[in-house]
Structure 1
């Protein structure tokens, strides 16, 4: 079989022919191996580059660069190896066939790079591709051999030709698999492994070439003698071609390396940009969290303070007015206690929407400061704008809200301060709006108030009183007890005293409880004050017992806040033990509303106190919201009718009927009845007629210090059968001499009237 003047399967002639012996230049062989190794490394590197490039245009570019490097390297290796061929013949190369071999090498290299451009292929696809690539390389080799022209005829041994083809296919498959393995690696070991693989692949390519050379036999025609020729120009040409090939391959590898670094920088830049974007998003999220309330999506306290400072600076610089509006939801705690905090959160969302919808969205700032407290900043032209906005909010709040299967209407208390009239700083304006809010609450809630200077004076005074009350409790100076007799109608004598606390203030004189009890309750002093009253009353009772009044009992008022403290029973027991007073001589008075505030815990505590032997009395009965179902369960001894039902007797028929009903009900529940606020004989006669057990009021005596108690008791005992307590004797005029000075003055009367609901 002849192709391009080559004999592939034709047998050698038997005679008349001369077989030419040939050798190879070792320097050029080594250069061919280096070029093959460089081409192998370029192939592996370009395959890795193609797999890491994202844009399709860049992938096509690097496929062609890799194909050119691979084709140029293999073809250069082949041509340099042919230059290394030394035979006693005049040999030259035909340019068309040489270029054709280069084209074939380029096609095979492109097929190899196109196969490697796919991320993952089945192994059989790599096998098929390696067959075609191996055939292309073998074709390139034998076309290049055909380009070598001399007087000798070229014969090939079929077995060695087949072996060269298998070597080419195996080399192609190894290159494909290695490129697949190296495309995702990194690091020094990965690079060293790539170098080692390049050396092995280069050796395989050279082996394929020389296997084809070994399959070749040169035969001179009969009568032709070998002609020695100088081969020195082959070395120079081989060196030149090696340098050119290595420069081209090296340029491709350098370009790939530079592009790789550039891509890494671009990737790093994208990563940095992504991180910056994430940081911006995180900053926005943090700002949202830091400046906005997560529940209502309104501005929170921090964001409000920042906006407030900015608006205040603007108004200070350019002029104008600004209103600060504090809102507090009335009785919001009841929602949390009865329906739970989840329902309370849902209610806050609805209320926040009502407030937001009532404001001017482009001008007003609405914030939730915490809990059920909201605050609004308003740009003002006149004060009426703030009033109108507050009224709109209060009207909006009257809309029924569906919550937990219930329809409810919430109300709000509002306090307003105005810049610059009520303050020049954020702190001052907020504090003054808060003071106005408390005035709205004190006025019965569901109300609005503007700040006034009198509120600040009152707040300053309360702060001063708080500090001085704390010092009075700590130093046990200034506080004292007054006692008011409680008259037993059946025994016709005084059997009880009610202890009423007073404060002898160094500047303000004698203060009644309405001036300082609320301060003690608001500032955590009420437990200490109650304990002081309890211990002082027990000590005074012991003193009275030692002075001939051993049958007396003392009634001590207990604050509603104290009924939530489990330590109250222990404090009562300790006070009784310290004063050596029998528990039966002490009566604890609690208001009706205090008892019903938390009936479960209150009932347990009252039973514990009752177990000590201490009597229990319900004070101010008729002013609260107690249920008879609960009332009969409480371990009570006494019921005190509030003075508001007595003061219009006998003029008010309705009050008389109410008092009769209360007395009958109390006796049905086996409770003794005390009526306070008794000031006239008509009232005393009415109560005695309808079975009231005890009287208390200015008809007997106003509250007096301990030193005067014995004198008052003696006087009442001497006169209990006299005209002062005789229903047939006209009542003495108030202030009349000889009437025990029972006439009340208006201020003291109203002061003590307010103490019934508080700790004395």
Structure 2
């Protein structure tokens, strides 16, 4: 088959002369291999730049440069290799065919670079592209061989010709795979592998060319005269082509390297910009977390302090007025205890929405934690603050559906006014908190404004707290007074109730209501109760030594002390140190104190009662009054609160309540003590209804130990007079009390408050 003067797949002619003295210049062969290697390396760099470029225009530019590098390298390798071919003939090159071979190389290179631009390459794609590129390389080679003009005909052996085509196909496939692989990566190993891949690709291209050259046989026709070469400038021309090609490849490699560094800097800048954005987002998140409550999305305490301080700095004390409102949700702890903290969180969200809905857009609303909220609003007078607080309280009364229940909450509010109640955020918040404390103390679901008396009282309470600590530590100033409890059956004083007093150096003798609340609020109540217990036992032992051996002492125990686990051991130790029998001690607890952790309370009381100590419940009827619990408690005595006796005997309802309590207590096998007895009529009524013990000002006020013995002797002497007065009262003739023997002495004693 003849194509462009080439005899392909043809047998050698029978006539003619075969040119056998053909060889290649080794230096030019090496130069051709170097050119091919540089071109392949540049092409791999161009493919890498093409895949990394995000701009379509830049991708086209790198594709064009890559195609030029690859085409120039393949064509230059072919041309230099042809220059390296030396035969005993005069050699010329056809310019048009030489240019056509270069054009074919460009098309082939463009196809290769375009194949590498695919986002996804499947095996079929690789085979199709390799086939087209391989055929293109073969076509370029034989067009270039057709440009070789020697006067001899070129015959090609079929086997080597097909081998050359196969090498071209495999080289094209390997080149595609390697170029695809080396698009990504960095480092020394990656670069070394790229050098190796370039040499491998160049070797394949060289092998394709020289396999085809090995398949060629030059035959001079018999009728053609032999023309010997007149001159040889192949080396100069080869070096020139190699220099130009290497210069182009080097320039492209330099451009790729510069672009890679520039892109690396751009990526660093983008990464830096991304880090800055992430840092800004993290800073914003931290700012949100630091200054806003995650549950309600309201400003938290820290954010409030900052915003409120800035707002105060902008205010003019002579013109502007602000109200600071402290809000506390009433009995919120019950929600957490009964429905759980998740339900409590949901409730807080709803409450925060209610508060926001009741305030104005420019009002500052914050959640300080737990169920505490704070509102700052501008106003013209106290009425504006009162109206806003009432609006919040009214909005809080909207029913809330929570965990299948419909409930209504209330709030207590304390208000301070700027600049009347303070000029700084700390002062205003402290004063609003004091006003809130007053609202909670007055029954909750109310609002109060701050006044100076609250501050004075808070200052006094703080002073009393500090001095009470010292008094307990040094056992100085505290004392115990005793109020007799009269046994109606024996007609004698049977018990003494121990009541703590504080002889304050500035304020005189303080009753428990002045400092018990302070002790409970500041963790001093346990130490105070135990102090009273020890001193009461010691004083009772002293009375026993003076002949009052039948007396018992009753000591009060607060709810906090009842939760003190070592209480049973403390009671045992106090009895042991005083040297008195447990039957002479009675521990008195309030009804509300019993209703805490009922199971633990029952266990503790049983341990105390097992020692032989009596137990009584105080203020019965003022708390839960749960008979279901009362029947399980290990009690001995029930004490009727004085509030039920105030209307006796004039109020029928009060008489019926007292009668019912006495009957109920006796049914449960409990003895009954009635406190607050102040009149003969009350004495007579209680005696007639089976009350066991009496306590009150009719008999004696609480007195110190030093004054107690004369009171006890006097009460024993007055027993006959009191009994006579009671008989008269029972006959319904209170006007005759004045003529009853001993009545004037009893009445005088009651009025003096012994």
Alignment correspondent of 1:428: 427
Q: Deviations over 1:543-599 (max 9, x none)?
A: 111110111001111112222222222211111111111111111111122222443
Which contiguous aligned blocks of 4+ residues in structure 1 show a shift greater than 6 angstroms? none
Distance (whole Å) between structure 1 residues aligned to residue 321 and residue 743 of structure 2: 61
Alignment correspondent of 1:112: 112
> TM-score of the superposition, structure 2-length normalised?
0.94
> TM-score of the superposition, structure 1-length normalised?
0.94
Are 1:291 and 1:299, in contact at CA under 8 Å, matched by a contact in 2?
yes
Distance (whole Å) between structure 2 residues aligned to residue 629 and residue 492 of structure 1: 34
What SS does the aligned partner of 1:60 have? helix
Q: Deviations over 1:163-221 (max 9, x none)?
A: 22222122212212222332333321121111122112212212221222222233334
Distance (whole Å) between structure 1 residues aligned to residue 34 and residue 151 of structure 2: 31
Cα distance 1:600–1:18, how it changes in 2: closer, same or farther (>3 A)? closer
Q: Deviations over 1:437-484 (max 9, x none)?
A: 001111111110111111111100000000000000000010001111
Alignment correspondent of 2:365: 366
Are 1:701 and 1:741, in contact at CA under 8 Å, matched by a contact in 2?
no
- TM superposition shift of 1:319: 5.2
Distance (whole Å) between structure 1 residues aligned to residue 518 and residue 670 of structure 2: 33
Distance (whole Å) between structure 2 residues aligned to residue 300 and residue 347 of structure 1: 17
Alignment correspondent of 2:218: 218
Alignment correspondent of 2:200: 200
What SS does the aligned partner of 1:445 have? coil
Distance (whole Å) between structure 1 residues aligned to residue 198 and residue 600 of structure 2: 87
Distance (whole Å) between structure 1 residues aligned to residue 69 and residue 636 of structure 2: 110
Query: Which piece of structure 1 moves more, 703-712 or 116-125?
Result: 116-125
- Gap regions ≥5 residues in structure 2: 729-735
Distance (whole Å) between structure 2 residues aligned to residue 344 and residue 332 of structure 1: 8
Query: Which piece of structure 1 moves more, 567-576 or 17-26?
Result: 17-26
Distance (whole Å) between structure 2 residues aligned to residue 36 and residue 573 of structure 1: 106
- TM superposition shift of 1:98: 0.9
What SS does the aligned partner of 1:497 have? strand
Distance (whole Å) between structure 2 residues aligned to residue 687 and residue 154 of structure 1: 146
Query: Which piece of structure 1 moves more, 696-705 or 233-242?
Result: 233-242
1:247 aligned to 2:254?
no
Are 2:91 and 2:229, in contact at CA under 8 Å, matched by a contact in 1?
no
Q: Deviations over 1:379-435 (max 9, x none)?
A: 222222211110001111112222232222211110011111111111111111100
Cα distance 1:723–1:445, how it changes in 2: closer, same or farther (>3 A)? closer
- Gap regions ≥5 residues in structure 1: 750-760
Alignment correspondent of 2:555: 556
Query: Which piece of structure 1 moves more, 718-727 or 41-50?
Result: 718-727
Distance (whole Å) between structure 2 residues aligned to residue 566 and residue 725 of structure 1: 49
Are 2:481 and 2:703, in contact at CA under 8 Å, matched by a contact in 1?
yes
Distance (whole Å) between structure 2 residues aligned to residue 314 and residue 365 of structure 1: 15
What SS does the aligned partner of 2:375 have? strand
Alignment correspondent of 1:730: 737
Distance (whole Å) between structure 1 residues aligned to residue 183 and residue 250 of structure 2: 19
Cα distance 1:124–1:318, how it changes in 2: closer, same or farther (>3 A)? farther
- TM superposition shift of 1:486: 0.7
Cα distance 1:250–1:356, how it changes in 2: closer, same or farther (>3 A)? same
Are 2:738 and 2:744, in contact at CA under 8 Å, matched by a contact in 1?
no
Are 1:681 and 1:725, in contact at CA under 8 Å, matched by a contact in 2?
no
- TM superposition shift of 1:740: 9.0
- TM superposition shift of 1:260: 2.4
What SS does the aligned partner of 1:722 have? helix
Show the 5 A alignment for 1:320-719. 320-361=320-361, 363-719=362-718
Distance (whole Å) between structure 1 residues aligned to residue 461 and residue 739 of structure 2: 41
Q: Deviations over 1:268-296 (max 9, x none)?
A: 33222222222222222222221111221
Cα distance 1:744–1:476, how it changes in 2: closer, same or farther (>3 A)? farther
- TM superposition shift of 1:90: 3.0
RMSD (CA atoms): 2.3
Distance (whole Å) between structure 2 residues aligned to residue 291 and residue 322 of structure 1: 22
- TM superposition shift of 1:616: 1.1
Cα distance 1:642–1:732, how it changes in 2: closer, same or farther (>3 A)? farther
1:303 aligned to 2:303?
yes
Alignment correspondent of 2:749: 742
Distance (whole Å) between structure 2 residues aligned to residue 546 and residue 678 of structure 1: 30
Alignment correspondent of 1:753: none
- TM superposition shift of 1:644: 1.7
Distance (whole Å) between structure 1 residues aligned to residue 611 and residue 224 of structure 2: 146
- TM superposition shift of 1:93: 1.6
Cα distance 1:467–1:250, how it changes in 2: closer, same or farther (>3 A)? same
What SS does the aligned partner of 1:369 have? strand
